[in-house]
A and B are shown apart, each in its own frame.
Chain A
Amino acid sequence: MAQAAPRGDPGGRSAGTTPPPLDVDRLIDDRRNRIIVCCGSGGVGKTTIAAAIGLRAAERGRHVVVLTVDPAKRLAQSMGLTSLDNTPRPVHGLSSAGAGDANPGGSLHAMMLDMKRTFDEIVEAHAEPGRAAQILDNPFYQSLSSSFAGTQEYMAMEKLGQLRRAEEWDLIVVDTPPSRSALDFLDAPQRLARFLDGRLLRLLTAPAKFGGRAGLRMLNAGFGMVTGVLTKVLGGQMLRDVQTFVSALDTMFGGFRERADYTYKLLRAPGTAFLVVASPETDALREASYFVERLDTERMPLAGLIVNRVHRSPAAHLSAARSLAAAETLHAAAAANPGTWSDPSTEPDSDYALAIAALRLHADRMQQAAEERRQAEHFTAAHPLVPVTEVPAQPDDVHDLTGLRAIGDFFGKPE
């Protein structure tokens, strides 16, 4: 599909704050980069962007695995797979057309995170069969592994660690869970680990073990109140389930916090790059801002921002106001000579009907483009050094590799 607008001039960008351009190709061509994390709030097209980046990197010669957490069947289908599951599956039909001067010969695998399966596998890998079965059957474990709000994030990070250790791929593209807040996937694993390794959990479930320690005696007064509240709120049965779970877990392996720390370190290590994805809307860009600030605090490497689904016009030189005025002129001319036009809610049936529709649409587009640009400029005003690139809105949904490739093409260098 030919894109008429020159790439440096997306819908008539005015001279305002111009961010440095984000060069995605340079990012994926640099073989020192081993992990790309795509993050952003829900509904911004993060999963599609992750898949498009994975495909482009593979077609430019990398050996890529895309780890997605989005259960959308469509994405699997667009990669020629009937479904995605917890094991990386090869994607066929790569071409080297987008490779430019890079060496082709790459490969692409894709998988979808199954959080319960991943959790079960950790248990099975670290406990002897009897113990493992005991843990897997525990009602508290079942609830924790399938519905605790942080489990998906924890397991996504766990899976990332596993893929990295496997050394089968030279680039891992991760799509983060679709939470409302883009920060969840950084915080949730720590929260789960803190909980599972936490002192309160151990105190409550094995108070006898700690009873003699002087340092903890001070807690005793408050402790009575705490257990009282918990028993009232949760009931005794639940506390017993938790106790069984924890004692089974204890003998198993060296702690969840260490595992969470490992992946956290991985995210900070050289070779990892974060791409923040947002749509050109207030909420999504606000989340993107939070995220950029957080990455900075954590000293995690931010590659840049991808503004997805941007509306551009091939006729950016015609302003919304002029376009609308022209439509009104034609409308008045047509109305003066009504012909068969009887329903005022429809456009007059005249030679100008098509032009009126086109001009109105154009005015609407230009208004939208201006609003989107305003939002993006807000972001850049706050984060002038963050490189930005834009991906135009596609007229229809992505259905196949060709569609993914078309998105990837926008990452090509402007020149």
Chain B
Amino acid sequence: MGTRDTDWEGVRLHVVTGKGGTGKTTVAGALALALASGGKKVLLMEVEGRQGIAQLFDVPPLPYAERKIAVAPTSLAEHPGDVFALVADPESALIEYLEMFYSMKLAGAALTRLGVFDFATTIAPGLRDVLLTGKAAEAVRRKGGGGRAYDAVVMDAPPTGRIGRFLNVSTEISGLAKVGPIRGHADTVQNVIRSPQTVVHFVTLLEEMPVQETLDGIAELRALGGIRAGAIMINMTRSLPLPASQLQAAADGQLDPDLIAVGLKAAGLDDSGQLAAELAAELAGQAKTTLGQQEQRDRLAEAGQPCYDLPWISDGMDLAGLYRLAAALRTQGAA
């Protein structure tokens, strides 16, 4: 172990965020697989109760318990690794917290029935977040088997628009709870989140709005101070293998369909003239998109964070696709 150079040596908590629709859960899953290869043990954690991990890995809905869900891709030279999954919900985390710190063997059901949980999280909106980040911090710090229980924890976190508030729990809580046990707990959690052990990765598409949210999100983290931005994971990328000059011509609708027709004819396709015109139109649309994407890529580069490309999986996202994404992350040094 430790023979490969990766960009995130020493990082143990990978927080993965992204605008809705960018494939945040998929990328978190791929990252967990990538980090686990080479005989590591990784915990993939979900905090929004959508059972996205179960759907991604095609397993039944997951409980509030750590379950092994996948074996990491492996080569002959390596040991296989394990990915565990945990669906953390704040209510279970609160009950666990009370038991752990106060030995309060509470009937969770009674608390729920009385609405205490809803009440507490409503009064203190940050409470929900501190319980979830607290669970991640606990997993990072946990010991087991003569070493650490997990080599890394990957969290499928709330979307970019909420990530600053979600991770900045200590400040959010302190506005309300100036003293008290939850405040102390929040401070412990902050020590993990604001340490070099934790980075926040942003999943984006090469479209204007997700890119803007990514840049805003990175700026927000920088403004908070102490919470480290990690990589920008550019999801669903596709290449259009055209030389720059032709790309521009195609985008401007200036491509001569005859240039395509020559090839179509050689390949034995019927009605090559008509087909060439149709394909030229399709190419024009994609060329426009590609040029726009290059602009977005340039904007992302300004953030100065490492960028990884995750290829578009055209035949539908499944486990095989997930392994392909994990391999792409490994090749690029993400894990």
If over half of B's interface residues share one DSSP class (helix, strand or loop), that class is named, otherwise mixed; here it is: helix
User: Known: A354-B246, A357-B283, A367-B315. Contact between A235 and B278, CB under 8 A?
Assistant: no
- B238 interface residue (CB < 8 Å to A): yes
Q: Is B288 an interface residue (CB 8 A)?
A: yes
Q: Shortest Cβ distance from A371 into chain B, in angstroms?
A: 5
The answer on a CB contact under 8 Å between B282 and A365 is yes
B159: chain A residues within 8 A (beta carbon)? 42, 178, 180
Contacts of B119 in A (CB 8 A): 195, 198, 200-201, 204, 230
Determine if A397 and B208 form an interchain contact, defined as CB atoms under 8 angstroms apart. yes
Would you call B114 and A242 a contact (CB within 8 A)? no
The answer to whether A147 and B172 touch (CB under 8 A), given A232-B98, A236-B180, A237-B177, is yes
B102 touches A395 (CB 8 A): no
Cβ–Cβ < 8 Å partners of B317 in chain A: 282
Q: Smallest CB-CB separation from A371: which chain B residue? A: B316
In Å, the complex CA distance between A371 and B236 comes to 15
- On chain B, the residues within 8 Å of A222 by CB distance are 110, 114
Is B19 part of the contact surface with A, judged by Cβ < 8 Å? yes
Known: A241-B176, A318-B275. A358 touches B260 (CB 8 A): yes
A355 touches B115 (CB 8 A): no
**Complex Cα gap A329–B269 (Å):** 11
Interface string of A18-58 (1 = CB under 8 A from B): 00000000000000000000000111100000000000000
Segment of B64-72, B123-131, B132-140, B299-307 engaged in the interface with chain A: B123-131
B209 at the interface (CB under 8 A from A): yes
Q: Is the CB of B50 within 8 A of A180?
A: yes
A229 interface residue, CB < 8 Å from B?
Answer: yes
Given contacts A195-B119, A347-B241, A358-B279, contact A330 B263 (CB under 8 A): yes
Query: Would B20 and A315 count as touching, CB distance under 8 A?
Result: no
- Contact of A234 with B177 at beta-carbon distance under 8 Å, contacts A371-B314, A397-B208 already known: yes
Please name 16 pairs of A and B residues whose Cβ atoms are closer than 8 Å in the assembled complex, sorted by A: A43-B22, A180-B159, A192-B122, A229-B98, A229-B104, A235-B177, A238-B123, A239-B123, A313-B282, A314-B281, A330-B267, A354-B242, A354-B255, A358-B260, A368-B314, A395-B292
Q: Which B residues are within 8 Å of any A CB, using their own CB? A: 19-22, 48, 50, 52, 55, 94, 98, 102, 104, 106, 110-111, 114-116, 118-120, 122-128, 158-159, 161, 165, 172, 175-183, 207-210, 212, 238, 240-242, 246, 255, 259-264, 266-269, 275-276, 278-286, 288-289, 292, 314-317
Known A-B contacts: A233-B127, A234-B123, A234-B124. Give 9 more (CB < 8 A): A42-B20, A43-B21, A43-B22, A72-B212, A140-B123, A191-B118, A333-B266, A361-B240, A397-B209
- Which residues of A line the B interface, CB within 8 A? 4, 41-44, 72-74, 139-140, 142-144, 147-149, 178, 180-181, 191-192, 195, 198, 200-201, 204, 222, 225-226, 229-230, 232-239, 241-242, 279, 281-284, 313-315, 318, 322, 326-327, 329-330, 333, 346-347, 351-352, 354-362, 364-365, 367-368, 371, 374, 395-397
